Structure 1
Amino acid sequence: MFPVSHAIGQTTKVIKSGHIDSAQIFKFQYVPIDVPEGVTEIRVKESYNGSGKNVLNMGIYGPEGYGMGNAKGFRGWSGGAKKEFFINSENASTGYIPGKIKSGTWNILIYPSTMIAAGLDWTLEVSFIKGTEQQTFIPKYAKEVVNQTPGWYAGDLHIHTLHSDGKRTEQQLVDEAVDKKLDFIISTEHNTNSANLKWGYYDRKNLLVIPGEEVTTTEFGHWNAIGLNKNTWIEWRYSPADKLIGKYTKLVANEGGLSIINHPFYTPTITNGFGFEPRLFDGIEVWNGNWDALDEKDLQWWDSLLKNGQHILAIGASDTHKPIGSQNNLGSPRTLVYAKSLSKKAILAGLKSGRRRHCSTALGSG
């Protein structure tokens, strides 16, 4: 790693580079960057060889540190969905957390999730911009209550926007949800809570947005933490051997939420790729997008767990990423929940009670 610095007016650039051997796939690397006093914006741009065959994931931690579970240090993650991002006090790229740029050592997290045999050569170009401090970002959270009327409510439990690897803005997604007559959606971006800080800016009168996160644990599978508190971020940088998963599913439960295993058989080998102990979870997503043979395998696994005395929920959700040209369309499947009100608390209570049913878009839209 060889840093090179040069100033351009009020902008200072630092370039760092290195090589990752193919044996280091999924291994975390933290690249330190020393942010001087007076910086009001950070911009990071990555480049690497073999794009399309190599995939380099990226995130960033502030001077508070990157230790396990350190939510104060976490400033965003985009995985392999972006090759550049910015952060300042007022705004940030989707997936990242706006806020004051403190001086000190920040760390850019990089790790490959797909890699050719020759490995991966990478470069990070980091720009420190000094300028007038912008207005501080003010979160605007989704409302927790839409109405107090008991009834059946239709929703989608697994969605993505530009805050992770989705292709819609928040506004586009809520507009489509209303058009499809959904009553609620659960925000589940990969490994970041950035969208949950902004849903209130896209409020629609009769739509409930519930905070969540898709916890994407590199090669050990994905799970949804649904029904989180408005500022909660769930750590994801651990393996089954670390024996930390119970700590985080307990955190979700303590906030009144549910921990759901996502699409366990969606792997290159079409085998169960979920590496954590299923008894620590509340349910399994057995229906993901259009029904297919992989969902059948998910359903069979869930059934085998029931037969062995593990009574957990079966969940259906779209896992939508884009509005058209996909097998994962918003609201298909949709979950119908009987709840005492259209509110975060009541919808979660309805899911936990089992007073729900799943259906395709055609059945659900009436």
Structure 2
Amino acid sequence: MNEHSRCPYRFLGLVALWLAVLGVACATDTAPDLVLHGQLTGSDIHTYREVPFDVPVGVNRITVQFEYSGREEHTAIDLGLEDPQGFHGPQGLRGWTGGSKRLFTVGTVDATPSFSPGPIEPGRWHLLLGIPNIRPASTSDYTAKIWFGHPGDPAWLPAVLNPPLRAGAGWYRGDLHMHGAHSDGSCKSMSGDARVPCPLSLTVEDAARRGLDFIALSDHNAVSQANDIRELQPYYDRLLLIPSREVTTFQGHGNLLGSSEPLDFRLGSKGVPDWNALLTQAETLHGVFSINHPIRPNDERCMGCGWTPTQPVDMHRVQAIEAVNGMDSLSPIFSGIAFWQEQLNKGFHLTGIGGSDSHDARLPLPTPGGSTPIGIPTTVVHASELSMQAIVEAIRAGHVYIDTQGKPDRSFDFVAAVDGHVAEMGDVLRAPRGSTVQVTMHAKGMAGAHAEIIVDGKVVQPKGDLAIHGADQALSFAWSGDGKRHWLRANVRAADGTLLIVGNPVYLND
């Protein structure tokens, strides 16, 4: 027997969706859409029981959490999922986990291992219960909580599937751009005799070995890697795997971070006539869109790589710029920093980020003019916790700096204050005419280097010692407020001028 109880908090879920559409963060999706209850007795041993439930139109994900009583009496219940076509349909049995999993998800693109992704057909579905053991005099009460996902939901919902990997605010280190077997990433085969599509597991293992906290798996126009992520994430419980893709067009590339939802990338087609149409689609998916390697050729040397829109682009629809791609901070020709600062001077609050653009998970060191290992550069994010939502929101907010060489022993912070009001990188601070903006920086692991201050795109020389003399040092200077709009940020350069750190701005009077 079983009973269905509709979630009384469905209205709150609709409110949460409405807030998300408006750009308001909401991770309170903890209430299931359905709760199924039932009881098994000793007579159910060695039988299969179907527990029906109805899936409405417009669902693209089913997530199930299943619990039962009686384990102390050795009761065992195996678990599977049938779609409306049943065992005789082309998919039918969408998965059978036995007793190995009590939480699983089935979506159109990805599914928990032992389940198959694919279309979620509306109609009567069934949980399939197999009972290998229950004692004659025993009973077992079970509860199945079911969440329905919908197109456009943030990738971190339902929350039960995506708990934080680490609680507490901190600086988390990651790489936001890389490629593997799901696009053009390759590495040498086991024998070393051939280059082959590089398995995603090697990419993840390399990132973990390098001590990163998160990576965004961003293959060209592909989201199929999301299914691999479902398998890998539970094991890599210290490394957050963020679904992403490099939106690859003939007029430039951009990463859409934090979404595996469909996106029409056919720029120039009838349905996607220009970048604004494409970016309008991306806005509904709750991720972050960054323009990748904007200063690249767009010809036979690198087809579609450079940012070359044929129509004006509303940059309000963009959230970030890949200011550092691989080792291009060493090159004044290909560095994206100047392009990024041009957008800042136009009044856009765009977060400067970095990405290795790695195409070979087994590459130990950068190759001249070639590929870059994972984690070079590293994007360092000040987030409230290590979770997908927190990392995406912190990038959107600009709480970021770029470690161009990906050195885990290096860290940097930049804070500005006026009359007790404090702003970190990415924040806005009011600085009236005649006020004093007190800037404090904290640098670790960069003895012998020096800070470089940029105001509105120009290097300035404030009063104060900006040389970094020790392994752990605070630096500060005062800047006189004039009541006008400005942005201030800092770089750190080695003694030979090599760029080590690229900081994001604090915005004044904006």
Query: Larger radius of gyration, structure 1 or 2?
Result: 2
1:215 aligned to 239, 247, 253, which one?
247
Letter paired with 1:165: D
Alignment partner of 1:152 out of 148, 171, 191: 171
Shift of 1:185: 0.4
| Residue aligning to 1:303 | 341
| Aligned match for 1:265, one of 289, 295, 304 | 295
Aligned to 1:281: 318
Aligned twin of 1:200: 230
Letter in 2 for 1:348: V
Structure 1, unaligned runs of 5 or more: 1-71, 73-98, 102-134
Q: Distance in 1 between matches of 2:319 and 2:185?
A: 26
CA–CA separation in structure 2 for the residues paired with 1:237 and 1:305: 25
Is 2:294–2:339's contact at 8 Å kept on the other side of the alignment? no
What is the deviation of 1:327? 3.5
Deviations 1:62-112 (A, max 9, x none): xxxxxxxxxx9xxxxxxxxxxxxxxxxxxxxxxxxxx969xxxxxxxxxxx
Residues 27-54 of structure 1 deviation map (CA, whole Å, 9 limit, x = unaligned): xxxxxxxxxxxxxxxxxxxxxxxxxxxx
- The one of 382, 387, 399 aligned to 1:338: 382
TM-score (norm. length: structure 1): 0.57
What is the SS of the residue equivalent to 2:219? coil
Q: 1:197 to 1:263 in 2, by over 3 A?
A: same
The residue number in structure 2 matching 1:329 is: 373
The answer to whether the 8 Å contact 2:324/2:353 transfers is yes
More contact order relative to length (CA 8 Å, sep ≥ 6): 1
- After superposition, the Cα gap between the structure-2 partners of 1:170 and 1:316, relative to the gap in structure 1 and judged at 3 Å, is same
- Superposed, which structure 2 residues align to 1:97-246 within 5 Å? 137-138=116-117, 143=162, 145-167=164-186, 168-203=198-233, 204-217=236-249, 219-228=250-259, 231-239=260-268, 242-246=272-276
1:249 maps to amino acid: L
Partners of 1:288 and 1:318 within 8 A in 2: yes
The answer to whether the Cα contact below 8 Å between 1:215 and 1:235 also exists between their aligned partners in 2 is no
Equivalent of residue 360 in structure 1, options 397, 400, 404: 404
The number of aligned residues is 232
User: What is the CA distance between 1:205 and its match in structure 2?
Assistant: 1.5
After superposition, residues 34-49 of structure 1 pair within 5 angstroms as: none
Partner of 1:82: none
Rounded to whole Å, the distance in 1 between the matches of 2:163 and 2:261 is: 15
Q: 1:265 touches 1:294 (CA, 8 Å); kept in 2?
A: no
**Contact conserved, 2:352 with 2:401, CA < 8 A, in 1?**
no
1:335 and 1:347 mapped to 2: Cα distance?
11
Q: Could you say if the C-alpha distance between residues 163 and 266 of structure 1 is closer, same or farther in structure 2, counting changes exceeding 3 Å?
A: same
Give the corresponding residue for 1:45.
none
Cα pair 1:287 1:295 within 8 Å, conserved: no
> Is the alpha carbon distance of 1:188 and 1:145 closer, same or farther for their aligned partners in structure 2, counting shifts above 3 Å?
same
* 1:105-130 deviation digits (Å, cap 9, x = unpaired): xxxxxxxxxxxxxxxxxxxxxxxxxx
Aligned to 1:351: 395
Contact 2:242 2:388 in 1 (8 A): yes
Q: Is this contact kept in 2: 1:257–1:348, CA < 8 A?
A: yes
**Contact 1:211–1:226 (8 Å) recurs in 2:** yes
Question: CA-to-partner distance for each residue in 1:262-317, whole Å, 9 max, x for gaps?
Answer: 11222156995431616131121121001332665521122122222223222211
Distance 1:100 1:251, change over 3 A: farther
Q: Measure the CA separation in 1 of the matches of 2:117 and 2:344.
A: 45
What's 2:282 paired with? 252
Show the counterpart of 1:292.
330
Contact 1:318–1:332, Cα closer than 8 Å, also in 2: yes
| 2:27 matched residue in structure 1 | none
- Structure-2 separation of matches of 1:302 and 1:341: 27
**Helix, strand or coil for the counterpart of 1:198?**
helix
Question: Does structure 2 retain, via aligned residues, the 8 Å contact 1:143–1:209?
Answer: no
- C-alpha contact 2:258 2:392 (8 A) present in aligned 1: yes
CA contact (8 A) 2:351 2:397 kept: no
Q: Distance in 1 between matches of 2:318 and 2:333?
A: 18
Change in Cα spacing, 1:273 to 1:357, as seen in structure 2 (3 Å) is closer
* Aligned-partner residue type, residue 237 of structure 2: K
